[in-house]
Amino acid sequence: MDFLLHERVRSGDRSAFAEIFDEHARVVYAHAIRTTGDWALAEDVMSLTFLEAWRLRDKLREEVRSVRAWLLGIATNVMRNITRAARRHREAMSRLPPPEGLPDFSDEVVGQLADAQRLAAAARALHRLKRAEREVFTLVVWSDLGYAAAAEALGIPVGTVRSRLSRARKKLRRLVEEELAADSHDAEPQTGNGQHMSQNGAAAPRAFHRRSAR
């Protein structure tokens, strides 16, 4: 740990804090985007995280063994505080029309759409977990913190990190598949009265879809 750098930060040296930002900004942003599933919101989370870190710079002392874990802990708290605003933001973004000028049916665009769908499905599944399980999963699995560092970031015992992560993994596998299946079902063409279209263009009765979904 660079104690001299931390001392400079605590004393209000902005150039020293800029070094910490340059080293850890991408990690904080990646953690935020994987947790929220929203690129724009992730940028806000990253900005708020470093603003809060600057405000709390006096805490950057010897007990902070990992600056990365310290920052991700702050980011986790930021996302706790803006969950409601993030939900409204995602709903507003979902009503925007798709960007124009993209080539139809190109492999690149299809790949981007698939990635975006999987990211959105993963984000929705993640938010169906309990908050405690979600926070442990994003820190350990997506942000690659060790158990001890995640425990430090969240202020909980290492054993609690392990047990929450185990539960989160099991639940998330099932939930992601449910979200992707729901996306696939919603994408099926429908007639004006809400009936799904079969492969030959005929309207399939609703009862069939209710039976097949069981």
Mean pLDDT for all residues in the chain = 75
What is this structure's pTM?
Answer: 0.54
Q: Which of 180 and 169 is assigned the larger pLDDT?
A: 169
Q: Check: CB of residue 58 under 8 Å from CB of residue 17.
A: no
Give the mean pLDDT of 49-57: 92
Tokens of 136: 């442990």
Distance CA 152, CA 27 (A): 17
Domain boundaries of the chain, sorted by first residue: 1-96, 106-188
Give Cα 157 distance to the centre of its chain. 23
Q: Which of 32 and 176 is assigned the larger pLDDT?
A: 32
Q: Which of 112 and 7 is assigned the larger pLDDT?
A: 7
Which CATH code, of 3.40.50.10860, 3.40.190.290, 1.10.10.10, 1.10.3720.10, is assigned to 106-188? 1.10.10.10
Distance CA 96, CA 8 (A): 45
CATH number given to 1-96: 1.10.1740.10
pLDDT at 194 over 80: no
Distance CA 51, CA 56 (A): 9
pLDDT at 102 over 90: no
Give one word for 101, left, alpha or beta, with left for phi > 0 and alpha for psi -120 to 50.
Answer: left
pLDDT at 190 over 60: no
Give the mean pLDDT of 62-80: 86
Q: How confident is the model at residue 117 (pLDDT cuts 50, 70, 90)?
A: confident
Tokens of 189: 């063409």
Q: Which of 121 and 53 is assigned the larger pLDDT?
A: 53
pLDDT at 211 over 50: no
Give yes or no on whether 1-96 and 106-188 have one common fold. no
Distance CA 33, CA 45 (A): 9
Residues 80-89: tens digit of each pLDDT: 887 666 566 5
Partners of 197 in the β-ladder:
203
Residues 14-32: tens digit of each pLDDT: 899 999 999 999 999 999 9
Residues 119-167: tens digit of each pLDDT: 777 778 888 888 888 888 888 887 888 889 889 888 899 999 999 998 8
